Structures are given as C-alpha cells and as structure tokens.
C-alpha cells in the first residue's frame, strides 16, 4: 500500500511539472512575439535616427561649404577697398561686405543648430 501511495505522489508531482511546462509552453510564444515586436520597433527607430544623422551631416557639410564661399567673397570684397575711388563705390562696397557678414553669421547659426 505504501508503495502505491508513493507511486501516486510521484505521478502527482509529474502531473504538476507537466502542467507547469504546458503553461510555459503556451506563455512563451506570446512573450517571444512581444519581444520580436519590441526588437522590430527598436530597429525601425534606429533606422530613422541613422537616416536623420545622415541628413544632418549632409546639411552641415553643405552649410560649411556655403560658409567657406561666403568668407572667400568677404575677403575679396575687403581687398577691393584699395581699388575704390569714389564715395559711391565705397558705400556700395560697404553694403556688399555687410551683406556677406550677415550671410556668414546666418550660416554659422544654422551650423550650430545642427
């Protein structure tokens, strides 16, 4: 009789373990699916961020090129002061230089915003 009870207890333990395993079996696919969704969302976010970084890098390079051109123009305009012979030319040149300085300032501000 004791032997029969022991076998019955063992069978109950096996049944409990089996039940736990069955519950885990049904729970894990849902959890795996959830984790896969999280991974997919993270990958999409990473792709978007990478694209944005590339876009900003391109904008920055373009603005730096524009800034370089504007500084070269400013230098040329300032060198023209030696060639100016009339007040009218001097005033016009000063306006051009101020416009160049304004553009340079705008480019620098845009670069800093990136």
**44 pLDDT more than 90:** yes
How distant is the alpha carbon of residue 5 from its chain centre? Answer: 66
Cα separations (Å) of 70 from 55, 79, 104, 108?
A: 22, 14, 6, 11
Tell the residue number behind the tokens 């876009």, with chain if given. 55
pLDDT for 93? 92
In the chain, the percentage of residues whose pLDDT exceeds 70 is 99
Query: Which pLDDT belongs to residue 60?
Result: 96
- Residue 98 CA to residue 79 CA, distance in Å, equals 14
For the chain, which residues make up each domain, given as ranges? 2-113
Is it the case that residue 45 has pLDDT exceeding 90? Answer: yes
Count other Cβ atoms within 10 Å, centred on residue 81.
Answer: 12
Q: What is the CA radius of gyration of the chain?
A: 37
Angle of helix 2-79 versus helix 87-113 axis, rounded to 10: 170
Query: Which has the higher per-residue pLDDT, 20 or 64?
Result: 64
Q: Which two tokens mark 73?
A: 């123009």
Neighbours of 108 (CB within 10 A): 14
Please report, in angstroms and rounded to a whole number, the separation of the first and last CA atoms in the chain: 83
Higher pLDDT, 22 or 41: 41
Most confident of 10-14, 24-28, 62-66: 62-66
């Amino acid at each position: 009789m004791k032997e029969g009870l022991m076998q019955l207890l063992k069978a109950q333990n096996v049944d409990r373990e089996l039940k736990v395993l069955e519950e885990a079996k049904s729970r894990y696919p849902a959890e795996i699916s959830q984790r896969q969704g999280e991974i997919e969302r993270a990958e999409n976010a990473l792709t978007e961020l990478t694209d944005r970084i590339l876009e900003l890098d391109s904008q920055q390079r373009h603005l730096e090129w524009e800034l370089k051109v504007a500084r070269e123009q400013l230098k040329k305009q300032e060198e023209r002061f030696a060639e100016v012979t009339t007040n009218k030319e001097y005033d016009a040149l000063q306006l051009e230089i101020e416009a160049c300085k304004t553009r340079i300032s705008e480019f620098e501000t845009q670069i800093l915003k990136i």
